[in-house]
Amino acid sequence: SQTIHQWPATLVQPVGSPLSLECTVEGTSNPNLYWYRQAAGRGLQLLFYSVGIGQISSEVPQNLSASRPQDRQFILSSKKLLLSDSGFYLCAWSRDPTKSSYNSPLHFGNGTRLTVT
């Protein structure tokens, strides 16, 4: 079976410090990978997605970046955090719907609660 791991679960960082959130998927190959951010009591905003190693697409201009160094590894980074980067970050994977007729939903990690102080 497939599993997704996301860490850390909670992070408190000062303004201007770097950030690295990591997500790994097991039990599947060549997944589509996604980073979402959720503001308190709100829906999910897509930040980045990746359809393959080294392929990153950004949805919104921001202080963050993403990388996919391995097929099942997705990293969210920042060189200098801003107060506005605080939020709940979710990593997710799905099978590529353009390559499969299987109606693959998103499978989410447990999320990271980031507080920038």
Partner 1 sequence: AQTVTQSQPEMSVQEAETVTLSCTYDTSESDYYLFWYKQPPSRQMILVIRQEAYKQQNATENRFSVNFQKAAKSFSLKISDSQLGDAAMYFCAYRINTNAGKSTFGDGTTLTVKP
Residue numbers at the binding site for partner 1 (CB under 8 A): 32, 34, 41-44, 46, 49, 51, 57, 59, 88, 90, 92, 94, 96-98, 103-108, 110-111
Q: Give 26 or 59: the residue with its C-beta nearer to partner 1.
A: 59
3-state secondary structure 47-103: EEEEEECCEEEECCCCCCEEEEEECCEEEEEECCCCHHHCEEEEEEEECCCCCCCCC
Determine the 3-state secondary structure of 5 from DSSP: strand
Cβ-contact 72, 28 below 8 angstroms: yes
Compute the least distance from the CB of residue 21 to partner 1, in Å.
Answer: 15
Compute the least distance from the CB of residue 60 to partner 1, in Å.
Answer: 12
Q: Using alpha carbons, list the distances in angstroms from residue 111 to 38, 67, 87, 90.
A: 10, 18, 10, 5
Q: Give 57 or 115: the residue with its C-beta nearer to partner 1.
A: 57
Q: Which amino acid, residue 73?
A: Q
Q: Give 16 or 96: the residue with its C-beta nearer to partner 1.
A: 96
Q: Give 14 or 41: the residue with its C-beta nearer to partner 1.
A: 41
Compute the least distance from the CB of residue 70 to partner 1, in Å.
Answer: 18
Compute the least distance from the CB of residue 95 to partner 1, in Å.
Answer: 8
